[in-house]
Amino acid sequence: MTAHPLPPLRQLRTVARPLSVPEYYHACVGTHPRTLEDRRTAVLALRSDGRLDPAQLQAALAKIALVNPGLCLRIERKSGLAHWRSDGPKPRLRMIEDCTWDGCSAAGTGFIAAEPLSLEDGPSVELIYAQLRSGGSMLVLRTFHAVVDGGGVLHFFYELFRALRGESPLGSNAEFSDAELMRSLGIRKTLSRHMRTCGLTGSPQGDEVGDEWRRVPLGPARPHLLSLTAQAMAEFAHQYSDLPALIAVPVDLRRHVPGLLSTMNFSNMLLVPLEPGAGAELFRRRLAEMLEGRMEAVFPRWLDLLRWLPMPWLDLMVSRTPDNYRRRRPMETVVISNLGRLDLEALSCPRFRVRQFLPIPLTGSAFAALVTIDGQAELTINLPRVLASEGRFDALVAHLQRRIGRPTQ
């Protein structure tokens, strides 16, 4: 594959380009009436003991939208392909009073999806400001995964707090997509491959559709936490199967272009196999080898053909349906999204200092988000209900806390 140079980084004023294949994949989920999926959203909450002035918050949101056009996206069809246009509605600010959500599970989250978002008409981004009955407040970013990735969520919040502190937002500066970035590197060799693998909690059991998720405190963070988490997940899976556990790790492609700033998607997955008995050190070495070889940037050109499929067709190919949700083979054992250690000062302003960083995980498969804030580590884990049944979610949580948790000092 021939490498092609990228255009230089410069302030992004508008977005007008075809959706990349990863963006198109995320956008397709939930578009066919026969699938069991909702549109794939990205939701993350910040909790503070303080409260903000709503007028100040509205002004800050409008300010960052001016220099981050990825916050105003909508999809239109042009020449048979889905294109992004950044002429959609500005991000919406919604106020919630007397919120009782504790951030620990899906219980009490009905307010988050109470107002519609739209990829076709907009708005595609919403910021919810919730005043908590228990005191303090939350900022909840709700958008579509086609619009942002984990790095994009962080860039949004860093920009928001710059504006709330009276600083100038940095804006977005990448005119190219994630797929164009990958092609520009020209990487061909990869050890990251799909293979026959095992489910995190064994085979699907029961008939209940949907998902459930929980937040799992792990206590003070320790070195190599991602590797330890991967080992513990594989150990649990190998109680049910001798097949390799396939651990999927999203990798931020921004690392290949120093100075790249964007709210939009710039990530791709690496797949790391762990055989029964394999430990954290082997996972760490295998992942390090893939990262050194920049293997997350491998992008076969044939994938571009997927963008010509109607979104509902692709949704039927990749999503759960009433016919397949109990017998689907896993593509990976678990996805572990490692958000790392967060910069608390960058996520603070007068009257609002972040105390908790609360991602709501993606649904549809076993998915875990790993984050460290103020020295404390947490996992947020999603499981389809057919994988969480018969006490397996409780058993998984107990196993993870026993294997990688540490008592709070």
Which tokens go with 342? Answer: 């967060």
pLDDT tens-place string over residues 5-42: 899 999 999 999 999 999 999 999 999 999 999 999 99
pLDDT at 299 over 90: yes
Mean pLDDT of the chain: 95
pLDDT tens-place string over residues 323-346: 999 988 999 999 999 998 888 889
Say which range, 155-164, 212-221, 398-407, has the weakest mean pLDDT: 398-407
Give CB contacts under 8 A, 24+ apart, made by 403-406: 403/228, 403/231, 403/232, 403/235, 404/218, 404/222, 404/225, 404/228, 404/229, 404/232, 405/217, 405/218, 405/219, 406/218, 406/219, 406/220, 406/222
pLDDT tens-place string over residues 189-215: 999 999 999 999 999 999 999 999 999
pLDDT of residue 2: 56
**Taking the mean position of all CA atoms in its chain, how far away is CA 139?**
17
CB atoms within 10 A of CB 31: 19
Mean pLDDT of 223-230: 96
3-state SS, residue 68: coil
Percent of the chain topping pLDDT 90: 93
Four-CA torsion 367, 316, 150, 86, nearest 10 degrees: -160
pLDDT at 317 over 70: yes
- Bridge partners of residue 334, in order along the sequence: 247
pLDDT of residue 4: 73
pLDDT of residue 165: 97
Put residue 307 in one of left, alpha, beta given phi > 0 → left and psi -120 to 50 → alpha. Answer: alpha
Burial zone of 193 (CB within 10 Å; 0-12 exposed, 13-18 middle, 19+ buried): exposed
Four-CA torsion 105, 110, 112, 114, nearest 10 degrees: 170
pLDDT of residue 115: 96
pLDDT of residue 210: 95
pLDDT of residue 394: 97
pLDDT of residue 409: 54
pLDDT of residue 5: 86
pLDDT tens-place string over residues 57-116: 999 999 999 999 999 999 998 767 999 999 999 999 999 999 999 999 999 999 999 999
pLDDT at 53 over 80: yes
Which tokens go with 297? Answer: 């940037």
Comparing 78 with 356, the larger pLDDT belongs to 356
pLDDT of residue 79: 66
- Output phi, psi for 126, to 5 deg: -140, 140
Mean pLDDT of 240-254: 98
pLDDT tens-place string over residues 159-192: 999 999 999 999 999 999 999 999 999 999 999 9
> What's the predicted TM-score (pTM) here?
0.95
